Structure 1
Amino acid sequence: MRKILIAMLLAQLNALSQTNLKSMNNYLKETEILNYSDTSIQSLIKDKNWMELDTIERVKSIYNFVRDDIEFGYNISDDIPAAEVLKDGYGQCNTKATLLMALLRATGVPNRIHGFTINKALQKGAINGIWYKLSPKNILHSWVEVYLNDTWYFLEGVILDKKYLTKLQEKNNDCKTTFCGYGAYTDNFENPPIEWNLNNTFIQKKGINQDFGLFDTPDEFYAKHQQKLGVFKRFVYRKIVRHRMNKNVEKIRNGR
């Protein structure tokens, strides 16, 4: 009987191990959106020598690259592939999340995406007037969760590049605590938790008003959830609104 119980326990442990291995593989797989085999992404990884770093330093370096070298800005769509985000050189919460996930997976670091909506109030300033009024109340939002040392870390603080955030803080230097607008919504505007060193990072978290849960890939997330825009509004956003928003963001970044 004892041998049978031991055999059953070993079988269960083996099954659990196989399940965990399968789950980890899901968090490393390449997809249409996470197209990390693209030559531009592979060349970047080689140029940055990320594979020569230990895992913690690798995550930190990739995180800092996506945060600061990929400027805050609005792409044509949330669901563009990682290589296109890299080519654009700018991104917002969802597109920066895509590039961050792809770079981490390409260098062997498991990750997943957590989907939400945020209140459009945090976009005010980046978008104004009639365009702000016409925009949906709830904006599709996401952050990356990276698995390291048996812990999931939340990496939302990657959204605003430090140059932009610093200029935004200078422009609103009377605010030290809660700030909402221009792509930020935080209780600690003076010193938001955007630096990663085995911790969670945030810059828009306070604006979250709906939780869609966890997804293995952005492909799965966007197959189920899209921005609430009709055909006409989507066309106007792509052709007019996002360019105005990017100009407003650039004015802040240049201290104007």
Structure 2
Amino acid sequence: MLSLIQKDDLNAYLKPSEVVDYNNPEIQLKAWELAQGLEQIEMAKSIYHFVRDEIHHSLDIESDIVTCRASDVLKEGQGICFAKSNLLAAFLRFMDIPTGFCYQTLTHEDGFVLHGLNAVYLDGGWFRLDARGNRADVDAQFSMGKASLAFYPLEEGEKDYPYIFSQPDKGILSILMLSKSLEEVMKILPSVLNW
């Protein structure tokens, strides 16, 4: 089991930002709807399942739309892993659950690419959640015990970064905000985390 390292003060994992824009009324409305009547852990589980299952991974549906800001991911109903992690963070932070950002380097086609997921602070500890979206070869689940992620770095050159960041990687955000197509994004995504 990976030992997770909190990089910032716990309060930093609750703040909104340009892309974790939980001040948006649509984010707030959906978060309240998903959390209604639930205790904190069940609320987090409900929100996670919504982002994992109801927000499509853009590559899985062969879309070329690029989203980044949480409110845009919700509006479009899709995003790649980094965008979906922004949405999950926005929902959970709005519901006062500290949420951070984690990364992996994974094999992709003929090289490597970064993958983004979240870490959530519940019941006195951090655990990782990957809301990328399941498919035939991916079975990520909500788990506060042993991590149940979309991917596990197993091949040579792959890496699991143990750090929990309060904000998404600026380089990734810049790529998502400036790219005109998903094809362009995939061509220029970095393969390692520069921190």
TM-score, structure 2 as length reference: 0.73
Q: Does 1:87 align with 2:91?
A: no
Establish whether residue 31 from structure 1 lines up as the match of residue 5 from structure 2.
no
- Are residue 216 (structure 1) and residue 166 (structure 2) matched? yes
Q: How does 1:50-129 map to 2 (within 5 A)?
A: 50=35, 52-74=37-59, 76-77=65-66, 80-121=68-109
Q: Deviations over 1:200-232 (max 9, x none)?
A: 2211223682455431111xx1247866xxx9x
Q: Work out whether residues 29 and 105 of structure 1, in 8 Å CA contact, stay in contact via their aligned partners in 2.
A: yes
Equivalent residue, structure 1, for 2:117: 143
- Structure 1 portions without partners, runs of 5+: 1-19, 122-132, 169-178, 185-191, 243-256
1:203 aligns with 2:153: no
Q: Residue 42 and residue 51 in structure 1: after superposition, are their counterparts in 2 closer, same or farther (change >3 A)?
A: same
- Which structure has the greater CA radius of gyration? 1
Shift of 1:87: 0.9
User: Alignment RMSD, CA only?
Assistant: 3.1
- Distance apart, 1:240 and its partner CA: 5.8
Structure 1 residues 38 and 225, CA, compared in 2 at 3 Å: closer, same or farther?
Answer: closer
> 1:152-177 CA deviation, whole Å, 9 max, x = no partner?
11112x2124xxx2xx3xxxxxxxxx
Paired letter, 1:198? M
TM-score (norm 1): 0.57
Q: Which moved more, 1:67-76 or 1:57-66?
A: 67-76
The 3-state SS of whatever aligns with 1:41 is helix
Give the SS at the match of 1:30. coil
Which residue is 1:15 aligned to? Answer: none
> Do the aligned partners of 1:34 and 1:81 also contact (CA within 8 Å) in 2?
yes
Describe the superposition over 1:35-57 as per-residue Cα deviations: whole angstroms up to 9, x where unpaired. 01101111212333x15311110
Q: Secondary structure at the match of 1:206?
A: coil
Q: Aligned to 1:97, what secondary structure does the other structure show?
A: helix
Aligned amino acid, residue 31 of structure 1: S
Amino acid of the structure 2 residue aligned with 1:105:
R
In structure 2, do the counterparts of structure 1 residues 225 and 66 end up closer, same or farther at CA, with 3 Å as the change threshold?
closer
Identity score, percent: 27
CA gap of 1:23–1:51, structure 2 versus 1, over 3 A, is: farther
Which is helix-richer, 1 or 2? Answer: 1
Partner Cα distance (2:91, 2:32) in 1? 11
Q: Which runs of 5+ in 2 are unaligned?
A: 1-5, 186-195
Q: Which amino acid aligns with 2:56?
A: E
SS in 2 for 1:146: strand
